[in-house]
Structure 1
């Protein structure tokens, strides 16, 4: 949280008529208003049952790929899953391995080490995979740009099925591709994460095996058992939570809360001191996701995948504790890099530019994406951070703001400067790329030029969008609990509110957090301001969330302050 000298606030518009319609269909008044402000128009857009998922038949090539996998299962062929090394890739890999095994496949997996091989189905990874003599490679969360890798697999006599969700380039690799963003795919949810794409392919495969009589006389595998993994990967990859993704996440959270999560996910909750029975989107994105990602950032994501695939609590516990240790190490590295980045920016007026590019050869390649995210939040500029990639190369990880589609911006830089970017990929809000170290200055200049052209000046001003003021009767523990249970995230933002408060009392907790009592006349509540040790003035403007404080088995209402500024009526 960063203190703004003046909060620039904007309330989300909403239609009272739509809110009334949603309320009449059974939604609580506050939830109905929040849904209306997020574009929900009809009650049937609030999907709650698995049967309301978009059908797999609409995902292009899913049936063809399912038929090929069914042939492989019936023929006893060896399958090898090639995964990405982030949380989406790890969960997609676990879904693929667990799901395919439950359907009768002989399957193993391979995940590239980011430091040795980099991202995706490269020719080097294909040659490594070939040592295991697979008949068929299935990629998860990668492959849409793997022309050279697919060609190498073909040369070695290995078929490839690509499952991915990233945006394709001008041409596609010569493989069987399942990706909602490929040309000609009519699947309505273009925002499936990689784990969601694999889950859909398994649904198509089960349907194909059912048609072939594979389950005659025995119970079909229950693919819903994979939804805890689907929920975790979907939230951790920060894809847009459209109606279909919200349903997948809600179903996964429901399984966790009912005690049906797999041992690895329950162990990750325990390692973090959290309860799966009270699982929330926050837990997936900010508690479990970072612990899983720590393996891919610092060592090898196989550790995370093994945790997710663990068949018993004892094995899962050991792996989750190691992931927790790696995450603590990652936080220390990130904090040091943040200090170094701020030192690099001393004397530079970031507000004069439309973008931010930084490079330090000492930075950790696995943590630059996190640093880019922190700097983007601090300065409200699309940010790309680079680290040494070896052999005279540097690798960058970028995060963007709403006004700039990052992958498209990199594509424009590439078209204007052929050969400058050696490779790149990603989506609207996040992307990765590789340059020659000597080309960092011209790249930074080219990216700045594109950012200036594509971002409107108003989009470079940080405007905090909230759900407006909260009435006193809406500020209740019941509403806080309802919001905690909801599915909020990218494209369907977590509700926040704003108001001006008198600070009635404040005290320091653990030397770094403020515990407050605040009042605006209609609302009087306990509040927390995390990671802020300096005392607040008597009056503040604040952006806050309704939250639940749990202490000694008792739940109470708490406001969590996200932003604050001096109140308009301070003396």
Structure 2
């Protein structure tokens, strides 16, 4: 196991002059770079859209298509960001007066990622007047070229990092394209779509497009979709994204969300009236993603587009069933991946700085989750490869802080041209394709590329704690204040505390989870749950040092404080 170090950030809550709930929240915000006066998170504080490069061309293109009555085909991605972005594009364009708009989400198994030439050929029979990509396209040079050959203009909306060359699209809107001055570089794909729609609405308003028969829509009604896609894609929650997420959550809690999102929350056993970013990220997102991982994402998009609450519940039920199947597949693959890593250790070899794992028969739609699980356990960047239907290997990469995984893969590609068939992604997650016979060479080249970024020192898993929480604040009032004090997420992490407790009892629940009953130095007894931490059962005795989040356990109508364990180490 990777060594773990707990480092406290900011002022320890136990040392605050007034250790009350308000001062605790203020301290948590300050340690995350936010002052109290900025906590309103209103829409008026969003970064203006007019600094997005390519937006003027995109708006002109969309407006001309609307006026001509030509159809628009949205080409999305097969993850939650792509699904929410596709649904937002369809709903928003309809609301703005588009006569004909449809969507196409390519199957990851049949077409792979992005606007490829085969995807363009599959779209061509629909005779679209415009192709609009969502959450993809910035690397689709060949696909855009094919569309241009067929006379179909392409508008790219994306947020992935751009390569050296850009596609010859009619317009590109991507905050991460070279030269774009837009200040929020962490917009998810669905966030980019929201900005495009907002700019298009302003253009149409100025042109006198809206009438009594064609009223101007309130695009804020779709912020529930923006919130879901932003959280599920695990982009950094800078202030701009926090505004988008918070505004979407407010609409969900107020009962003003899409029937599909409400149905997905209900399928997960979560109360929409108390929804948080964690509910979207850990409960709704995985159920939506299950469609793209095991079949194809149209089921998820249809759930989000659905206006009928009864049908939405049925679609959400189908997604929930797919998610249960996904969990079973993931469990098997994860166990096999653990065995592969253990074999490296048993051989007496040091674990390499970056892990490349491959299992015969692994499901390519689940490999990204397995890579994330192994990364969390060993705190190393991981690429999990699976066999694709075309005879190639498809890898899903997940990184650790300090390593840009896309740059590492790009370095391999530049040093070993032809080794990688194609790749793309973010700093923390990427995908690539290569021939089976290239895996061994790629493994070595990837290890070297990772070493250049991270160095030779073995990784240490650092847990950043907000300090010791005074026992008098371990209550339901604090739980509720922290729950609604976000939105929390990447770049604005949910509060995490640490301290010493006495273990009164410890047992396993659900085979993998650790259930504890704890006694703090002062204050009432507490229950704690460590998801996936059953292997630490033998350590859970006597005095222990815990890193934990404070949450609410709701059981048979009773609400009690509960610690969610992130780390446990014995002190006796």
Q: Shorter-chain TM-score: what band?
A: over 0.9
CA separation in 1, counterparts of 2:324 and 2:360?
A: 23
Give the distance between the partners of 1:194 and 1:14, measured in 2 at CA.
Answer: 36
2:306 paired residue number: 310
1:30 paired with 2:24, answer yes
Unmatched segments (≥5 aa) in structure 1: none
Distance 1:390 1:57, change over 3 A: same
Aligned-partner SS, 1:556 = strand
**CA contact 2:12–2:468 (8 Å) conserved in 1:** no
Paired residue secondary structure (1:8): strand
Corresponding residue number in structure 1 for 2:337 = 341
Residues 17-73 of structure 1, C-alpha deviations (whole Å, 9 max, x = no match): xx99xx9xx992111111111122x44543421111111111112232112211211
Work out the CA distance in 2 between the residues paired with 1:520 and 1:528: 12
Alpha-carbon distance in structure 2 between the residues aligned to 1:327 and 1:468? 36
Aligned-partner Cα distance in 1 for 2:361–2:438:
18
Shift of 1:551: 2.8
Alignment partner of 1:518: what SS? strand
- CA–CA separation in structure 1 for the residues paired with 2:511 and 2:290: 27
User: Where do 1:419-430 residues align within 5 Å?
Assistant: 419-430=418-429
Query: CA contact under 8 A between 2:4 and 2:460: conserved in structure 1?
Result: no
Matches within 5 A, 1:546-561: 546-561=550-565
Alignment of 1:115-264 (within 5 A): 115-175=109-169, 176-217=171-212, 219-264=215-260
User: What are the within-5 Å matches in structure 2 for residues 502-541 of structure 1?
Assistant: 502-506=502-506, 513-531=513-531, 532=533, 534=537, 536-541=540-545
Shift of 1:520: 2.9
Asked if the contact 2:518–2:528 (Cα under 8 Å) also holds between the matched residues in 1, the reply is: no
Preserved CA contact (<8 Å) 2:43 2:247: yes
Q: Does 1:274 align with 2:270?
A: yes
SS at match of 1:452: helix
Shift in alpha-carbon separation, 1:459–1:275, aligned structure 2, 3 A? farther
Aligned residue for 2:83, secondary structure, equals: helix
In the alignment, does 2:9 pair up with 1:9?
A: no
Q: What displacement does 1:197 show?
A: 0.1
Give me the whole-angstrom Cα distance separating, in 1, the residues matched to 2:445 and 2:381: 13
State the alpha-carbon separation in 2 of the partners of residues 200 and 446 from structure 1. Answer: 39
Q: Equivalent residue of 2:488, what SS?
A: coil
Mean Cα displacement is larger for which, 230-239 or 483-492? Answer: 483-492
Equivalent runs, 1:65-104 vs 2, <5 Å: 65-104=58-97
Q: Any idea what the Cα deviations from partners look like across 1:185-223, whole Å, max 9, x if unmatched? A: 111100000000001000001101101112244642111
User: Where does residue 447 of structure 1 map in the other structure?
Assistant: 446
Match of 2:57 among 51, 56, 64: 64
Residue 488 of structure 2 corresponds to 488
SS of the residue corresponding to residue 172 of structure 1 reads coil
What is the distance in 2 between the residues matched to 1:458 and 1:443?
22
Shift of residue 351, structure 1, vs aligned partner? 4.9
2:107 to 97, 113, 119: 113
Shift of 1:476: 2.8
Task: Confirm or deny: 8 A CA contact 1:231 1:249 kept in the other structure.
Answer: yes
Q: Per the alignment, do residues 454 and 513 of structure 1 end up closer, same or farther by CA in structure 2, a change over 3 Å counting?
A: closer
Could you give the per-residue CA deviations for residues 49-103 of structure 1, whole angstroms, max 9, x where no partner exists?
A: 1111111111112232112211211110100000000010000000000100111
CA distance in 2, matches of 1:366, 1:183: 31
- 1:509 Cα deviation from its structure 2 partner: 5.0
Aligned to 2:366: 367
| Counterpart among 328, 331, 347 of residue 332 in structure 1 | 328
CA distance in 2, matches of 1:511, 1:354: 31
Structure 2 residue runs of 5 or longer lacking an equivalent are none
- Output the CA distance in 2 between the equivalents of 1:56 and 1:156: 31
For residue 14 of structure 1, report the CA deviation from its aligned partner: 5.3
CA distance in 2, matches of 1:341, 1:512: 16
Q: Distance in 2 between matches of 1:351 and 1:530?
A: 28
Q: How does 1:459-498 map to 2 (within 5 A)?
A: 460-485=459-484, 486-498=486-498
Q: Separation in 1 of the partners of 2:468 and 2:479?
A: 15
CA displacement 1:422-478 (0-9 Å, x = unmatched): 111001100000111100000000000111111045571112111111123332322
- TM-score, normalised on structure 1? 0.94
Report the CA distance between 1:392 and its aligned residue. Answer: 3.5
The SS at the match of 1:80 is strand
| Equivalenced residues, count | 558
Change in 2 beyond 3 A, CA 1:390/1:549: closer
Distance 1:527 1:436 in 2: 50
Q: Distance in 2 between matches of 1:47 and 1:330?
A: 38
CA distance in 1, matches of 2:358, 2:508: 37
1:488–1:494 Cα contact (<8 Å) kept: yes
Distance 2:250 2:435 in 1: 47
**Contact 1:543–1:563 at 8 Å: present in 2 too?**
yes
Structure 1 CA distance for aligned equivalents of residues 478 and 355 of structure 2: 40
How big is each residue's C-alpha offset from its partner over 1:521-555, in whole Å with a ceiling of 9 and x where there is no partner? Answer: 23434222234554620211111111112233332
Matches within 5 A, 1:369-448: 369-448=368-447
Aligned-pair CA distance for 1:273? 1.6
Q: CA shift at 1:361, angstroms?
A: 3.0
Preserved CA contact (<8 Å) 2:155 2:172: yes
Give secondary structure in 2 for the equivalent of 1:549: strand
Confirm or deny: 8 A CA contact 1:227 1:248 kept in the other structure.
yes
How far did residue 15 of structure 1 move? 10
RMSD of aligned alpha carbons: 2.1
What SS class does the counterpart of residue 473 from structure 1 fall into? helix
Once residues 425 and 505 of structure 1 are traced to their aligned partners in structure 2, the CA distance between those partners, rounded to angstroms, is: 48
CA drift of 1:492 comes to: 1.2
